[in-house]
A and B are shown apart, each in its own frame.
Chain A
Amino acid sequence: MTCDEFQAAYLEGAEDDTTRAHLDGCAACRTRLPSLQAGRTVMADPAVWEEPSPELGEQVAMLLQGATKPPEKAKWPVRTMVGVAAVAALLLLVVAVVALRNDAPDWTVDIAGTDQAPLAMGTIEGWATSNGTRMVLNIDGLDPAPDGYFYELWLSRGPIHVSAGTFTATDDVVVWSGVPRRDYPRLWITLEAIDEDESPSPTTVMDTQTG
């Protein structure tokens, strides 16, 4: 059985001695297994097979025709754009030099969305100060918390979880922690209801330890 044959058979639903034998001896197909499993599961979902009404496309087209036209970007003269670009580049250079000299983070860690927020991704930068660890969250793809909820960043060492702060949207989030990251290596973000429970909720939306 070739890899192509195994993957086609597995995706179709076959799990017999032949496919198991191939899988046992093929590291490449074992790597592909999570994708094949996810694909097989979702292909059984009626949602991917149901067709929208034939007239829906026309309804969408009519809806958009009656809606406000999207604003086009302003067209600036080329000379103005070149000047603005030159000034911006100079400013960026200055900012970068200053940042590199004075404000480079002591550490940076990637954080990824879980199944609860599959498009979320970003980094957390940390600065060790005499007041504790200052952290800046640079996150894209995480929707603002719904009404009655907020996000909370946690630092964890095994079962010990220390909250580093809360926020509702990911623009310009700066939080502080009284414990050093080197002792609390896992950083993760939960969605929390506004209630009396101060422990982490089971709804983890982002984590530095994924996969």
Chain B
Amino acid sequence: MNARLMKRFRSGDPDAARDLYDAYGRAVFAVAYRALGDRSLAEEAVQQTFLQAWRAAGRFDPDREPGPWLYAIARRVAVDVYRRERRHLATDEEPEVALLPPSFEATWEAWEVRLALDQIPDDEQTILRATHYLGLTHEETAERLGIPIGTVKSRSYRAHRRMAELLSHLKEASA
């Protein structure tokens, strides 16, 4: 499916651009938002990422997975946006710093987690969001969603088991 999509994208099919955004847009946004910490800068980086991908698509081998390629473009764009903003803010007392801040670490993990979340059914993703983003307990989640706590627990188990499987390649053990 990706090979067909990338062949269409490479040939300049606007629908393919939209399909590629639907598949990877949120992951690109997650990388940019994690790195830049600013919603409007992150959205600017998303636009630039897809524009650069569009312009470079002729050199992309459609038989390869587009994910790592898009991630690399997204991170580079975020670096460019960060450095541009730093130049604007640089003063004599606080000169421009070229080293990247810690927010640029673990962007690959953010990319992978976002792509994994996109594969989780909506009802299970809601439970994951409640647990990890909102910090709610199972009881609080059940109350907020108006569903039995047993349902929350079973969905939570299924969702985390799926996530564990999807993220099994995230880091190799050093041992």
- Chain A residues engaging chain B, CB cutoff 8 angstroms: 4-5, 7-13, 30-39, 41-53, 56-57, 59-61, 63-65, 67-73, 115-116, 118-119, 141, 143, 146-149, 191, 193, 203, 211
Instruction: Give the complex CA separation of A147 and B87 in angstroms.
Output: 12
Knowing that A42-B109, A65-B14, A67-B55 are A-B contacts, what are 17 other residue pairs whose CB atoms are under 8 Å apart, sorted by A's residue number?
Answer: A34-B171, A35-B170, A38-B170, A39-B163, A41-B106, A43-B132, A44-B133, A45-B106, A46-B133, A47-B31, A51-B26, A57-B25, A64-B14, A64-B50, A70-B10, A115-B106, A119-B71
B9-36 CB contacts (< 8 Å) to partner A: 9-12, 14, 17-18, 21-22, 25-26, 29-31, 33-34
> Is the CB–CB distance between A48 and B164 below 8 Å?
no
Closest to B106 in A: A42
Complex contacts, B14 vs chain A, CB 8 Å: 61, 64-65
Q: Which residues of B contact A44 (CB under 8 A)?
A: 132-133
A8-B157, A48-B114 known; A43 vs B128 contact (CB < 8 Å): yes
CB pair A31–B173 under 8 Å, yes or no, is: yes
Contact of A47 among B18, B33, B50, B57 (CB under 8 A): B33
> Would A53 and B72 be within 8 Å (CB), given that A42-B109, A64-B50, A115-B105 are in contact?
no
Closest A-chain residue to B27, C-beta based? A48
Closest CB-CB distance, B163 to chain A, in whole Å? 6
Question: Which residues does chain B contribute within 8 Å of A39, judged by CB atoms?
Answer: 109, 113, 163-164, 167, 170
A-B contact pairs, 22 of them (CB 8 A): A7-B164, A8-B160, A30-B173, A31-B175, A32-B168, A34-B170, A34-B173, A35-B170, A36-B164, A38-B167, A38-B170, A39-B113, A47-B33, A50-B29, A50-B39, A51-B29, A52-B25, A57-B18, A60-B51, A64-B51, A64-B54, A70-B58
The reply to whether B173 and A60 contact each other, CB–CB distance below 8 Å, is: no
Given contacts A36-B164, A72-B11, A149-B98, contact A61 B18 (CB under 8 A): yes
Identify A60's interface contact among B21, B68, B106, B108, CB under 8 A.
Answer: B21
Inter-chain contact A211/B172, CB cutoff 8 Å: yes
On chain B, the residues within 8 Å of A119 by CB distance are: 68, 71-72, 75, 108
A43 to B106, CA, bound (A): 11
A61 to B17, CA, bound (A): 7
The complex places the Cα of A48 from the Cα of B75 at a distance, in Å, of: 15
Q: Which 5 A-B pairs have the closest CB atoms?
A: A47-B34, A8-B160, A7-B164, A34-B171, A35-B170
Q: Find A56's partner among B17, B25, B107 (CB 8 Å cutoff).
A: B25
**Is there a chain A Cβ closer than 8 Å to B110's Cβ?**
yes
A141-B46 Cα distance, complex, nearest whole Å = 20
Q: State how many angstroms separate the Cβ of B37 from the closest Cβ of chain A.
A: 8
CB pair B43 A56 closer than 8 Å: yes
A-B residue pair count with CB separations less than 8 angstroms: 177
Contact among B58, B100, B167 for A71, CB-based, below 8 A? B58
* A53 to B39 Cα, complex, angstroms: 9
Q: B residues within 8 A CB of A56?
A: 25, 29, 43, 46-47
Identity of the chain B residue whose Cβ is nearest the Cβ of A44 in the assembled complex? B132
**Complex Cα gap A60–B167 (Å):** 29
Q: Chain B residue with minimal CB distance to A31?
A: B173
Q: How far is the CA of A47 from the CA of B112 in the complex (A)?
A: 12
List of A residues within 8 angstroms of B57 by Cβ: 70
Give every chain B residue within 8 A of A8 (Cβ-Cβ).
156-157, 160-161, 164
Bound CA span A18–B93, Å: 54
